Structure 1
Amino acid sequence: MNERTKSIHSLVFLLQKNNCCEALLPVFLPGWRFYYVKKTKKKGKCMDFEQFKEELASSVKEIMYSKYGMEVEVEARTMEKMNSSYEALTVKPEDSIIGVNLNATALYQQYEKGIDIDVITSKAAELAESALNSRPDFDIDSFKDYSKMKRWH
């Protein structure tokens, strides 16, 4: 392996190690003693947290409809929990006020570790579908009706 090839291998390794969003593609020009480096987008590991949440929300909504036949609303919100907080996506059927929260912060940490976005969105949609279908069935309107609540007192 000559010096030029060693340099290219080192450069590509460094980019892969740092999960760089842009990869450098060496192009050798015939008869030249140097190479041209062309930038190209590499799939994945390029999204910041806000882009990740948007992608997660749209993908979960699409999967919930295409795979499970459920039309859902997906909203981002901050959840406060026991002296800590996290960013969540609330998934709820369009005709309901009750939904399930997906911890977007934890899912993004998985993404940063190298888990593919398609795997994350698929598992998140599967979790949401399971939670929505196993939720307790009760009449939420009775909790809003003061005259019914007054009789229980």
Structure 2
Amino acid sequence: MDYETFKQEMTEDLKQRLYERGVEDVEMSFHNVEKANQHYESLTVRQEGSNVGVNFNIESAFAEYEHTGDYAGVLAESTHAIMQGLENVPSVDTSELTNYEAMKEKLSIEVISAETNAELLTKIPHESMEDMAVVYRFVLESNDTGRASILVTNDMIDHMGVTHEQLKADALENAPEIRPAVIQGMSEVMREMMGPEAFEMFGLPEEQEEMMYVASVPDKNSGAGVLAYQDFMDQAAEKLGGDFYILPSSIHEILLVPDNGDKAADDLRDMVREVNATQVSPEEKLTDNVYHYDSKEHIFELAEKFEARQQEKAETQIDEKTEEHGSVLKDLKDKQKEVAAKPPVKDAAEKATKAKGGEVL
């Protein structure tokens, strides 16, 4: 079965399966969806009378069918996913979607890869942050079953009559309030994941020096955006006790490693690339790079830029010491020449005595 045939049969079968589960009068249509790290054709399912629908990745379903050959299994999984989506569709007042004063209270900040999303970035307001891009999203609802949100586009803010600068200012004010940054030690995160009993069973100490921290937001959805919060870097520096490296674990969270001289940026970079290649799905990947925050000079930058800056500082200090040392040597040599140019004390005395007709004893 080719892709177009699959789409047609899947649409008809899904309608029947949904009807059997009590979901009647659904409208189905296909749309191209462009999201961070993703671009795919979606089957949009909307119940009659509802202004919000569910987007289902039909390309992913077809890929699963091609891989397994199990059409019935793919249909069952697709029906279940769409049913869950319809049951959790948020109630949205569409009149608010064009009302910026109502929507700005839902503004959130996210960071994505600038290279991977180069085409998307031409259509949305964003800021550059090294090789990442800071983007904006209206979060309508977020709970354990998922999140309903809208990526802010250039067309959207033009229609609302809002400037890029105003959007940025409002997002920087609101995002930390509705989705505050949460920084936890890795042992604390493990304790939460494993539960206190399992944590103790493995003999892990209650109190230990944290070698790594995790930063995200409370719902851990697109939490890497905390990087762009105005006070995040200094808050993290205070918690970690100074300078630190930033490892982009995914678009959902970042890892912070204290810069205490024990870790080399190259080793951390290799670790990030290995994890991205083996454990992070393409749609959740941020970047392969490592970053550094200089808490004294308040500079966030790529780790390689930090290393280059430190090398330049070291070379400048060496040059200054060399110049200072050279200056001291020059002063000594000049002094030696000055002394050498003066006649010895005895010669000077003889000349003075003879001038008076006397004799030196």
TM-score (norm 1): 0.58
The CA deviation string for residues 32-84 of structure 1, in whole angstroms up to 9 with x for no partner, is: xxxxxxxxxxxxxxx11111111111111111111233321111111111254
Aligned partners of 1:88 and 1:105 also within 8 Å:
yes
Structure 2 residue 29 is the aligned partner of structure 1 residue 98: no
In the other structure, the counterpart of 2:353 is: none
Superposition map of 1:6-21 within 5 A: none
**Match for 2:17 among 57, 63, 67?**
63
Could you tell which deviates more after superposition, 80-89 or 101-110? 80-89
In the other structure, the counterpart of 2:96 is: 143
Match of 2:62, SS state, is helix
The CA deviation string for residues 94-121 of structure 1, in whole angstroms up to 9 with x for no partner, is: 2212111111111111000124212212
Bigger relative contact order, structure 1 or 2 (CA pairs below 8 A, ≥6 apart): 1
In the other structure, the counterpart of 2:243 is: none
Inter-CA distance 141–83: structure 2 relative to 1 (3 Å threshold):
closer
Which residue identity is paired with 1:99? G
Q: Distance in 1 between matches of 2:84 and 2:37?
A: 28
Superposition map of 1:1-153 within 5 A: 47-138=1-92, 140-143=93-96
Aligned partners of 2:27 and 2:47 also within 8 Å:
yes
> How many angstroms does 1:124 deviate by?
0.9
Which residue identity is paired with 1:143? E
Q: Distance in 1 between matches of 2:29 and 2:18?
A: 14
Q: Distance in 2 between matches of 1:87 and 1:120?
A: 17
Q: Distance in 2 between matches of 1:109 and 1:69?
A: 26
Which residue identity is paired with 2:60? A
Inter-CA distance 144–111: structure 2 relative to 1 (3 Å threshold):
closer
Point out where structure 2 has 5 or more consecutive residues left out of the alignment.
103-361
> How many angstroms does 1:136 deviate by?
2.1
Aligned partners of 1:79 and 1:88 also within 8 Å:
yes
Match of 1:132, SS state, is helix
Q: Distance in 1 between matches of 2:31 and 2:94?
A: 24
Match of 1:113, SS state, is helix
Q: Distance in 2 between matches of 1:52 and 1:93?
A: 22
In the other structure, the counterpart of 2:138 is: none
> How many angstroms does 1:88 deviate by?
0.9
Q: Distance in 2 between matches of 1:81 and 1:142?
A: 24
**Coordinate RMSD, CA, aligned:** 2.3
Which residue identity is paired with 1:103? N
Inter-CA distance 83–144: structure 2 relative to 1 (3 Å threshold):
closer
Aligned partners of 1:61 and 1:72 also within 8 Å:
yes
Match of 2:30, SS state, is strand
In the other structure, the counterpart of 1:33 is: none
